[in-house]
Amino acid sequence: MNRHNNKWLLGKANLVMPPLPSGFMQNAGVFYLSVILDKHVGEEVVLIIFDPTDFIHELSALVPFNFYSSSIALNTTYGPIFSFIFYVTNPRDESKAFAVFDKPINIAEPLSFEPWIKLAGQTHIHLLLVDKNYEVQGFYEFENDSAFIQALEIMSQLKADRVIDFRKAEQEYFNAFSLADLYEIARNNT
């Protein structure tokens, strides 16, 4: 795979969120957005942790800030479901999570793969921490290991035509797993 070099070379920057589509990022969670951070690099997919509470400031104060990704695929009564699991470790005890987020993907929607394919093809992951005023509270860069490429392989092997009802499958998944459960699964997968 020929990877898009999006390494940040511009030093410290005061990043400002672009205008967002109506209704985008209303609830806390992990989101993605296609943006141009550096005109010499061009468009890339960035990940955003959005939290409208003061927790975002606790998260942005972590040193070191260690961000990881993993994934899970499982069957539900309403068909297969795939989810990314993102977590930030506790700097005082790296074996514990400070924050855990999940991002279920509707595999029955082919367009839902596109941003993740683009992200997998980048050399680096850029992560923004965004508060309730849509102000950037943190900007981080991580080398993009093979986790997203492996996740895409798993996603593509799932039978999208077996998804009967994504919303019901997603709800069954939410009912079956707490974020603590997902963190344990993610740690065992990495």
Whether residue 150 contacts residue 116, with contact meaning beta carbons closer than 8 Å, is answered with no
User: To the nearest whole percent, how much of the chain has pLDDT over 90?
Assistant: 73
Q: Which among 56, 60, 18 has a CA at the least distance from the CA of 37?
A: 18
Question: In this predicted model, what pLDDT tens digit does every residue of 91-114 receive, in sequence order?
Answer: 999 999 999 999 999 999 988 889
Q: If you average pLDDT over every residue of the chain, what do you get?
A: 92
**Per-residue pLDDT, 160:** 82
Q: Which two tokens stand for residue 152?
A: 């895409």
Beta strand pairing status for 67-76 and 79-90?
antiparallel
| Residue 81: band (very low, low, confident or very high) from pLDDT cuts 50, 70, 90 | very high
Q: Where are the domains of the chain?
A: 29-189
Question: In this predicted model, what pLDDT tens digit does every residue of 4-41 receive, in sequence order?
Answer: 999 999 998 888 888 887 788 889 999 999 999 999 99
Residue 137 has pLDDT above 80, yes or no: yes
